[in-house]
Structure 1
Amino acid sequence: MAVFVLVHGGGHGGWCYQFVARRLRAEGHEVYTPSLTGLAEREHLLSPDIDLDMQITDVVKLLHFEDLRDVILVGHSYGGMVITGVADRAADRIDHLVYLDAANPVNGQSLVDVAGPLMLLARQMGRVVDGVELVLFPGNDPMSFYGVTDPDLIEWMKPKLTPHPWKCFEQKLVLDNEDALWAIPRSHIICTSTIDGRDIEALKATSDGRVWDIDTGHDLMITEPEAVTGYLLKIAAL
């Protein structure tokens, strides 16, 4: 049995992994899908203090309080920033890192550094609410960036999406335990449409060639849960 911790991306919550988590549990695996502070069912905790560091701490605390070890830690999109920080702080608890169409940062980078044009566009459409700068507002049709086209999935997602504090995307990642972090095996599951914007050879060099792509939109855990689960099971069997 493997232990999976699935970390969501911007504007989402643990709910976005329902289809994948259900399949992994059916195979006998232990699965955690935390929602980061200020998002989804934790949106009532929104405050000016929420940043990348706090959301990294969310997951580190989960690992410690649930006493999770040998974890396969998965991060989608912005979640790549989070899981990299988590692995830096809790390398002894992580067995494998999986970047799910995710940011793949190095020390000193923010998500704005990694994906500047997209994030700056999101900021232009943001707003300040109760002293907190927020981006990724659901709006009337939030699916263009997430790559979801199925009407039923769109209706399922719309009431669950929540705006995300901009500070999380602007804050730079600080790594203090890089030798242990970069020693953790890693894999990349990406969308075919994002290949052109990635250095695939560099990703393969740091993951023993484990770079797989799925021809779907950015929210691949929602649009292609069977394929995502298949790759996660392959990783668990390594």
Structure 2
Amino acid sequence: MPATSPSPFVLVHGAWHDSSAWKRVVPLLEASGHRVFTPDLTGHGAKSALLGPEVGLETHVGDVLDVILAEDLTDVVLVGHSYAGMVVSTVANEVPERIANLVYLDAMVPDDGETAADVLPVTSLMIEAASASDEPWRIPPLPESPAPAGLFGVTDPEDLAWLRTTLGDESVLCYQQPARLDNPALEGVARSYIQCVDNVPAGIVRRPVPAQPNGDPAVVHELRSGHDCMITVPNELVGILLSLT
């Protein structure tokens, strides 16, 4: 019987970030024989010039689906960080037969029909603040805080200097369009959860992690890290990701 190829990873960055957030994770996964894909969501990284009020969650779902279908990927470990939990949920709903594991990395975990503002109510405050600005469709990145909170949990001076150059604004529509999880076949997709448990910002309240679709207890891993664990503890993160394959 021929050996099977290692599962490919599709790593989806969160709000305000771009694909370079994964720069320390990609070589570690590739060294273990996995193909790794890190799409830039529209409005970020190589697609930053495309940011506009019409960019929303559905746009970002399309970005990830385009990669999976163009590369004809199967047995995918699909990882969504933060806001991208909304994105990967709907992607898996569209192509459940291609997804081996749906991984929520310190991420929003929606039910069918929920928006980001439903999942994380503090998001509504950002939408309200944007509505009073000159560009009410645009939400800037969260402000930097003193250590140990830092910028998305990043406090190392060199990392901070680099991270600041990668962050960009997000469209309000990303937080207003609902996720879709209404495909019965999605029940057959395994789900895993990784939570960053150091320096959780005020106002961030996690929901209880739901059970697996088959009723088994959820698989939850904890990382002693701030939110951007792919930057601060890449080796530890990759160890968990590899254990899911």
| TM-score normalised by L of structure 2 | 0.86
| Per-residue CA distance 1:81-101 (angstroms, 9 max, x = gap) | 000000000111111101000
Q: 1:103 to 1:46 in 2, by over 3 A?
A: same
CA distance in structure 2 between the partners assigned to 1:127 and 1:12 by the alignment: 22
What is aligned with 2:227? 218
Q: 1:130 to 1:27 in 2, by over 3 A?
A: farther
Q: 1:176 to 1:203 in 2, by over 3 A?
A: closer
What is aligned with 2:3? none
Q: Deviation of residue 208 (structure 1)?
A: 4.1
| Per-residue CA distance 1:181-237 (angstroms, 9 max, x = gap) | 12200110111245973314x35786644101111111111111111100001001x
What is aligned with 1:197? 206
Q: 1:90 to 1:158 in 2, by over 3 A?
A: same
Identity of aligned residues (%): 37
What is aligned with 1:102? 107
- Indicate which of 134, 140, 144 corresponds to 1:136: 140
| Per-residue CA distance 1:46-82 (angstroms, 9 max, x = gap) | 2222111111111111111111111000000001000
Equivalent residues, number:
233
RMSD across aligned positions (CA): 2.5
Q: 1:141 to 1:41 in 2, by over 3 A?
A: farther
Q: Deviation of residue 171 (structure 1)?
A: 1.2
- Indicate which of 163, 173, 191 corresponds to 2:179: 173
Q: Deviation of residue 144 (structure 1)?
A: 4.2
List alignment gaps of at least 5 residues for structure 2.
1-5
What is aligned with 1:227? 236
Do 2:197 and 2:224's aligned partners in 1 also have CA atoms closer than 8 Å?
A: yes
The equivalences for 1:44-193 within 5 A come to 44-117=49-122, 119-126=123-130, 133-137=137-141, 144=150, 146-177=152-183, 179-193=184-198
In structure 2, the residue corresponding to 1:15 is in which secondary structure?
Answer: helix
CA distance in structure 2 between the partners assigned to 1:76 and 1:106 by the alignment: 17
| Per-residue CA distance 1:152-194 (angstroms, 9 max, x = gap) | 11011001101111100111123341x1112200110111245
In structure 2, the residue corresponding to 1:211 is in which secondary structure?
Answer: strand
In structure 1, the residue corresponding to 2:54 is in which secondary structure?
Answer: coil
Q: Deviation of residue 123 (structure 1)?
A: 3.1
| Per-residue CA distance 1:115-136 (angstroms, 9 max, x = gap) | 012x133335547999661113
Specify which structure has the higher proportion of helix. 1
In structure 1, the residue corresponding to 2:103 is in which secondary structure?
Answer: strand
CA distance in structure 2 between the partners assigned to 1:152 and 1:187 by the alignment: 31
| TM-score normalised by L of structure 1 | 0.88
What is aligned with 1:34? 39
CA distance in structure 2 between the partners assigned to 1:40 and 1:107 by the alignment: 29
In structure 1, the residue corresponding to 2:104 is in which secondary structure?
Answer: strand
